[in-house]
Structure formats: C-alpha cells, structure tokens
Homo-oligomer: A and B are copies of this chain.
Amino acid sequence: MPVKDYKKSIFEQFARTGKAFSNAHRIELLEILAQGERTVEQLSNAADLTVANTSQHLQLLRNAGLVTARKVGQYVHYKLSDDLVIDLLVALRKLSERHLAEVERLVNTYLTVKDDLEPIPINELMERAGDGVVTVLDVRPEVEYKAGHIQGALSVPMDQLEDRLGELKPNQEVVAYCRGPYCMLAYDAVAKLREKGFTARRLDEGFPEWRKAGMPVEMKDE
C-alpha cells in the first residue's frame, strides 16, 4: 500500500470517529451516557427518540468504539467505553462555545443567573466536603443518582426539592450539582434554596467532570 493510501485511510478512520459527533441526537446520547450506564429505553426517553432510532445511533457509536454494551436479561446497558470520550465531548463543548456565537446566545438566554450563583469549583468542594461543613445535594433524577454520585451526596431530585427542604440542616451551606455545564437543574435548585432562606451555591461542573477528575464516587446507597 503506497503512502498516499495510508494517509487516506488513516484520515478516514479519524473521520469515522468524527462522524459519531456529527449528529445532535448522538451527542445528546453521549452526554447522557457521560452520566453513567443506561438502557436503550432510558436513553430513548431521555433523548426523546424512538427506540429503534436510538438503537441505530447506538450501533453506530459502538462501531466507532465510543460505547460498549452488555446484556443483562432482556435489557442492554450501554456506557461510554472510556474517559477519552468525555475528553472529546469537553473539547467539543469548549470549541463550540468559543466559536459559535449562537451557542453563547443560547447559553446567555437560558442561564442568565449564571454569574449570580457564585459556582464553587470541584477542588474547593472536595476540601470543604471533607470537613463536613457543607451539604452536597444531587438534584438529578433518582435513577441517575443511583447509577453513581458524589460521595456523601444527598439525593433530592429537583421535583421533590420543595417538599423535602426539612431534610436539610438549616445553618449549613448547600452545594447543588447536576449533570454538567448545560444542565439547568442545579441553577433552579440554588434559586429555590435561596428563596427559602438557605445559603446555597452550585458546583461549577457536573457529575461526569467530578468523576473524571478522580474524585470519590459512590453508587446506589447514600
């Protein structure tokens, strides 16, 4: 095989990986999988796609080596094949934010409160959580909490927050987190908590970034 063909085929291989990121639904699926393992049905619900369609996108992602599947009974569980996929997702987010004015517009329109909430960086939360002086609040749906969460975090899904305020220590600062930079659950939670008189901030990033940073993670039990 001449060098020219070698070059051609290696770029084709890269493009195969790139193609996985060329469709909005697939990116959404990957972002959901960045939270943790999910079944096809869960994914199709979360991304609002038909099951067949979801399945096909997953096949493509699997062929590109980005996700792996394991069958448990009649369910097939998919997950990201490793953290390099998260690296690429993060690089894609950063690049898009930097270069597409439209992204910035969308983010500003929807996350206007962003600067008011004084986000706390991962490192700082890690230190302070160790001292036991903050309540770490996971406001994602319970199923996502069960699949993996920050060590010591309390699960209070957003839609139950108002009813369960009594479970929080009144004088302790609360740090809420959710899925990642474009997830609005934690914003809503902090707004609600402050409204009710709590001292609350949100984690700078989401659960995938926390795990990626090598910080302690738990599964299932609180």
Query: A98: which of B16, B31, B84, B99 is its contact (CB, 8 Å)?
Result: B84
**Shortest CB–CB separation between residue A14 and chain B, in angstroms?**
5
Q: Does A123 contact B (CB under 8 A)?
A: no
Give the nearest-CB partner of A3 in chain B.
Answer: B184
On whether the beta carbons of A10 and B64 are closer than 8 Å, the reply is no
Query: With a CB–CB cut-off of 8 A, which chain B residues contact A28?
Result: 7, 11
Rounded to whole angstroms, the CA-CA distance of A216 and B148 in the bound complex is 44
Query: With a CB–CB cut-off of 8 A, which chain B residues contact A75?
Result: none
On whether the beta carbons of A106 and B18 are closer than 8 Å, the reply is no
**Shortest CB–CB separation between residue A217 and chain B, in angstroms?**
22
Q: Closest 9 A-B residue pairs measured CB to CB?
A: A65-B99, A18-B21, A22-B22, A11-B24, A15-B24, A19-B22, A12-B24, A18-B22, A17-B96
